[in-house]
Amino acid sequence: MHAMTETTITAEELQASEYFHGHRCPAMPQGLRAGHVAMDWLEVPRARGGGELVAIIETGSHHFSGCFADGVMFATGCTFGKGNLIQNPLGKFALTLYVPKSHQAVRLIPHYERMSQCLTMDFFKLRAQGVPPFDLDPKVTEPLIQDVLTKPWTEIFALQEFEDYPFDPVPDVFEAVQCSLCHELTVKSYAQQFHHQWYCKPCLDGIIHARLAPTV
């Protein structure tokens, strides 16, 4: 393992990320921490545009600790809008951070014992009973937040390193067409031609399905 100086998560960053996220909870800061450790390990700065870094998260939707993704977005600058955040929904909690220029990547995997222990804690029991995180007693939430912010990162995550991570970047498209049916502007890579006319996907689907409808 190479020597790494971990960037400190400042009170300002934590506060700003909590504003973005909407509440205080332990899973979002775990994403912040994962994002920083990954950038520190790879020695890369936060993403300004879409091409510098790609974050791949493995959380799905509508399950515990999904807040992790917001911490990753805030720390790395890999966001939904810039298209450099990829959700590979596996129901797992790893973060892979990929650097297109060097093809290097790291994957941070929270330790099994840590994540499975969490589920037996009051925080998750109450969450499972339907208590929203912003209504929880700070006595329940705060120790978990402090723990995830202060514990040595190696006690939280295992790290896999990739010298040549398999990833095909998708170039940004700056062309658009008008759909012949609904007349809405559609990005060219999402439009399709049919009988020399451009169509958006729902309109083309409609035409194709109408044609395939059985005649009675």
* Interacting residue with Zn ion among 14, 28, 54, 94 (CB under 5 A): 28
Residue 208 engages Zn ion in binding (rule: CB under 5 A): no
What's the rounded Cα separation, in Å, for the pair 122 and 143? 11
Residue 40, CB-side half-sphere exposure with 13 Å CA sphere: 19
Pick 43 or 205: Cβ nearer Zn ion: 205
Of the candidates 90, 31, 85, which has an alpha carbon nearest to the alpha carbon of residue 60?
90
Query: How near is the Cβ of 140 to Zn ion at its closest, in Å?
Result: 13
Residue 73 engages Zn ion in binding (rule: CB under 5 A): no
Instruction: With both helix axes pointing from N to C terminus, report the angle between 27-42 and 138-150 in degrees, rounded to the nearest 10.
Output: 10
**Nearby residues of 113 by Cβ (< 8 Å), 6 or more positions away:** none
* Interacting residue with Zn ion among 39, 47, 94, 179 (CB under 5 A): 179
* Interacting residue with Zn ion among 9, 17, 18, 25 (CB under 5 A): 25
Residue 118 engages Zn ion in binding (rule: CB under 5 A): no
What's the rounded Cα separation, in Å, for the pair 199 and 190? 9
* Interacting residue with Zn ion among 47, 69, 106, 203 (CB under 5 A): 203
Which residues of this chain interact with Zn ion, rule CB under 5 A?
25, 28, 67, 179, 181-182, 200, 203
